[in-house]
Amino acid sequence: MAYDYGSESLGIRNPFKAEGLLRASRGLIVSLLGIYPLLQVVSLVQQDKTLAWIYAAVGFLLLAGGLKALGGGIAQMMRFFVGRSVPTSLAPNFSKSERETAKLEQPHYKSIDLEEMLMGRKNKTFVEPDGFISRLVHTLVPKLIFLPYPLRNLAQRFAGALIATAIALVAYALTAFVCLTGLAGDTGDILLPFFSFVLVVYLILSWRGASTVYRKAEKSIETQGNLKLAKIMAFAILAPVLLGLAINFLLQQPDVQYFVSELQTAELQSFAVMPQLLLVLVFGAISGAFIFLLLKQRTAKVQAQTKVSEYRANWQENIHPRELFVNIDNIVMANRRYMEIPNRVYRELAPNLNEQSESKGDFNGEVMIETQPAYAPLQHTALFKHLRIWATITGQLLLLIGPFILFYLLFEAQTVLSLVREFTALARPGDAVTQSFVVNLFNESQFILSLIFSWLICHSFGRLLENYSHTFWAELNFDSLLVYLKCEGTYTQSKLTTGKGIYDSTSSENYVMRSSLTPWVISSRIMSSTFADSGAKNVEHPRHILEMQDNPQEMQAIIDDIQSFLSARETIANVKNAQDLSNTEQIYQINQQSRAMPVTPDQASLASPQQDAEASLNLQAEPAKQ
C-alpha cells in the first residue's frame, strides 16, 4: 500500500518504541561480546591456528546476531509512517479516489460477508475452533473465541507445547521406571541416558516450534487437533521401544560389547537430564504465567456485541430514484467522513431502473459504505502494561544468556584442545592413559553438551516471550461507521402545469417522477482490530471486526438528512434570476394596461370572453325588469 501523505495525522503512534529499545540494548551487548574474540584472533594465530579459527567463528556468530538484534531494535524505534489510506479495508474498496490503493490491499471479508453480518446480527470473525487441543483451550478460556486470530493462535500453540511436554515427561517417567527396576535387562543402564538425550532434544524442538509466530496466523485459526496429539503419544510410546531394539542390536556386536564393557569399568558421568528438565519447567511456568495473565487482561476488554440499528419505511415522493442514491452517497455519507478522508465503498452505487413503458417502471439498488476508521486504542489496565513490558524484558534477558554461554564455551574449547594435544603428543600411550583420556574427553563433552542444551532452552523460551509479547504490543483498534442501504420501489411519470390562466400569463410545465420508495437502512458502529509491524507494511495487514454496536442517534440523523433533502426539493420551476423576474413584471404590467383600456364599437368583436359574458347577462336581465 502506498504512503499517502496528509497534513492531518491519524493519531497512530509507534507502539514498538519500548520493545525496540530493549531489543537494541541486547543487540549492543551481544555485539560488544562478539568483538572481544575477534580482537584475540591476531595474537592467537601465532600460537594456535585451530583455536584462532574457533575464536573467529564464535566472534562472527556473536557479532552477526548482535548486529541483527541491534538493527531490528533501531528499526522498531524509527518513525512510524502512516498514510491516509490505512488501515486495510474490510472488503474490496470501490471508491474512485482509492483505485490504486485498493489493488494492493488484501481484505479479510467480502461485501456479501458484511451484508450477512448486518442482516443476520452475527459476526463471522468468531469461527469455531477445530481440533481437540483447540477446543480444550477454548473450553478452559471461554472468552478466547472473541479475541483476534493472532492471540487465539498463540494461546493454542502454547497449550500444544504444554501438552507435548506433559506427555513426554510421562513417557520418560515410565521408561525410567522400567530401566531403573531392571525390567529392561542389561540395556537399562544404557537406554536411560540415550532416552534422556532424545527427551531434551524433543522438548527443545517442541518449544522452539511453539515460539514461532507466522504472519499468516492473522488470517485464520490454526488447527491443533487429534493428529498432533497422536504424533506426541506415538513418539512417547515408540521412542523407548525403538531405542531399546537399536541398543540390543548394537550390543550383539563383539566390538561394541568390548567397548561398552570398557566404558562400564571407567568412571563416566551419565547425561544429566534433570537440570535441563528443571529449566524447561521453570521457564515454561514463567512464560505460561505471563501469557495467561496477559490473555486474561485482554479478554476482560471483550464486548462481543452484534447489534445494529435498522430503519424500514415506505415513502411517496416526487423524486427520481437515482437522485436518492446520489444524495446518500455525495451528501449524507460524505458529511460523515472522518478528517475529510474518502469513505470506503464496499458495494458500488449502481441503481437498476427497469423501465416498463415510457412513463412508469420499477427500480432497486443498494450501497454499502464504511467511514474512515478512526484510531481508538483500548484503555488497558496498569497491570496489563506492566506484564507486557516485563514479559519483553524477560524474553530479552533469556536471549542474552545464550551468547554468554557461547562466549564461555571458548574457554572450554581451550580445555578440550589441551587434552587432545597432550594425548596426541604421546608416542605410545598405554591403556590406562587412553582410558583416562577417553573418560576426561567424554566428561568434558557431557558438560559442553549440557551448556549447549541450556543455551537452546533459554533461546527457545526467550524467543517465545519476545514473539508473544510483540503480538500484544502490535494490536491496533479502530472505530468506524458501517452503513448498508437497500431500496426498492416503483415510479410513474406525470405532467404538472402551473400558472396557466385565461389571460396571457407566465406558466410552468414540468414532468414529475412520482416514486414509491421502500428503503431498508442498517447501520452499526463497529470496532475492528489489526496487528501492526515495523517497516514498509506497518498498518497494512488484514483487519477484523470484533464488536458491532447499535447507533440509534446516528441512524436517526441519517434518516433526518435524507428526509430533509426530500422535503426541500422543488417540483415547480421558479424564476430565480433578477433580470427574468423584471421582464416578467413588465409583461404583467403591459397586460394590465391592455385590459384597462375602454372598448370602442369597432373593437367590440375583440372584447374579451369575460366582457362578452357580462353583456349576455345584461341582455337577459332587461326582460325581467319589464
pLDDT of residue 66: 93
pLDDT of residue 222: 73
Task: Give 605 or 308, the one with higher predicted confidence.
Answer: 308
pLDDT of residue 618: 53
pLDDT of residue 299: 92
State the pLDDT confidence band at 267, using cuts at 50, 70 and 90: low
Distances (CA, A) of 296 to 207, 292, 374, 381, 548: 22, 6, 26, 11, 22
Q: Is residue 428 part of a domain?
A: no
Peptide linkage before 87 cis (omega within 30 of 0): yes
In whole angstroms, what is the distance from residue 578 CA to residue 591 CA?
20
State the pLDDT confidence band at 624, using cuts at 50, 70 and 90: very low
Q: Is residue 180 part of a domain?
A: yes
Dump pLDDT digits (tens) for 153-162: 899 899 988 9
Q: Kindly tell me the burial class for residue 116, based on how many C-beta atoms sit within 10 Å of its own C-beta (0-12, 13-18, 19 or more).
A: middle
Helix (H) or strand (E) holding 347: strand 344-347
pLDDT of residue 492: 81
pLDDT of residue 457: 93
Residues 26 and 62: beta-carbon distance below 8 Å: no
Nearest to 82 by CA among 530, 568, 505: 530
Rg (CA), the chain: 42
384: its cell numbers:
496489563
pLDDT of residue 625: 46
Share of the chain above pLDDT 90, in %: 30
In whole angstroms, what is the distance from residue 234 CA to residue 528 CA?
42
- Each as own residue / partner, the long-range contacts of residues 226-230 (CB below 8 Å, 24 or more positions apart, any chain) are 226/131, 226/132, 227/131, 228/131, 228/133, 228/160, 229/132, 229/133, 229/163
In whole angstroms, what is the distance from residue 591 CA to residue 596 CA?
9
Backbone angles phi, psi at 621, to 5 degrees: -80, -25
Q: Which residues contact 554 (CB under 8 A, 6 or more apart)?
A: 309, 481, 523, 525
Q: Is residue 555 part of a domain?
A: no
Q: Is residue 183 part of a domain?
A: yes
Dump pLDDT digits (tens) for 53-105: 888 998 999 999 999 999 999 998 988 888 788 889 999 998 888 877 888 88
Backbone angles phi, psi at 524, to 5 degrees: -155, 140
Q: Does the structure show a pLDDT above 90 at 307?
A: yes
pLDDT of residue 571: 59
pLDDT of residue 97: 80
**Which of 94-98, 252-256, 532-536 comes out lowest in average pLDDT?**
252-256
Taking the CA atoms of residue 165, residue 221, residue 394 and residue 16 in that order, the dihedral angle to the nearest 10 degrees is 170
Alpha helix segments (H runs only) across 475-551: none
In whole angstroms, what is the distance from residue 342 CA to residue 349 CA?
15
Average pLDDT, the chain: 81
pLDDT of residue 146: 92
pLDDT of residue 495: 67
Q: Kindly tell me the burial class for residue 481, based on how many C-beta atoms sit within 10 Å of its own C-beta (0-12, 13-18, 19 or more).
A: buried
176: its cell numbers:
525410567
pLDDT of residue 537: 78
In whole angstroms, what is the distance from residue 252 CA to residue 331 CA?
90
Q: Does the structure show a pLDDT above 70 at 621?
A: no
State the pLDDT confidence band at 619, using cuts at 50, 70 and 90: very low
Backbone angles phi, psi at 148, to 5 degrees: -60, 160
pLDDT of residue 586: 72
Task: Give 119 or 250, the one with higher predicted confidence.
Answer: 119
Q: Which residues of 120-143 are buried (b: 16+ CB within 10 A; e: fewer)?
A: ebebebbeebebbbbebbbeebee
- Among positive and negative, which fits the CA dihedral 278, 282, 284, 285? positive
pLDDT of residue 273: 76
**Which of 135-144, 431-440, 468-477, 509-518 comes out lowest in average pLDDT?**
431-440
Nearest to 530 by CA among 378, 392, 384, 354: 378
pLDDT of residue 575: 63
Helix (H) or strand (E) holding 369: strand 360-370
Q: Does the structure show a pLDDT above 90 at 216?
A: no
Q: Does the structure show a pLDDT above 70 at 612?
A: no
pLDDT of residue 370: 93
In whole angstroms, what is the distance from residue 430 CA to residue 433 CA?
5
pLDDT of residue 195: 78
Q: Is residue 150 part of a domain?
A: yes
Nearest to 543 by CA among 113, 4, 119: 113
Q: What is the mean pLDDT of residues 326-351?
A: 85
Which range marks the domain in which residue 196 is found?
A: 127-253
Residues 542 and 88: beta-carbon distance below 8 Å: yes
Q: How many distinct structural domains can be found in the chain?
A: 1
Distances (CA, A) of 155 to 207, 287, 339, 532: 13, 11, 37, 19
Share of the chain above pLDDT 70, in %: 75
Q: Is residue 488 part of a domain?
A: no
Task: Give 473 or 619, the one with higher predicted confidence.
Answer: 473
Amino acid present at 230: A
Q: Is residue 72 part of a domain?
A: no
Task: Give 51 or 604, the one with higher predicted confidence.
Answer: 51
Q: What is the value of pTM for the model shown?
A: 0.81
Q: Does the structure show a pLDDT above 90 at 349?
A: no
Residues 209 and 115: beta-carbon distance below 8 Å: no
Q: Is residue 373 part of a domain?
A: no
261: its cell numbers:
564393557
In whole angstroms, what is the distance from residue 237 CA to residue 240 CA?
7
Task: Give 367 or 621, the one with higher predicted confidence.
Answer: 367
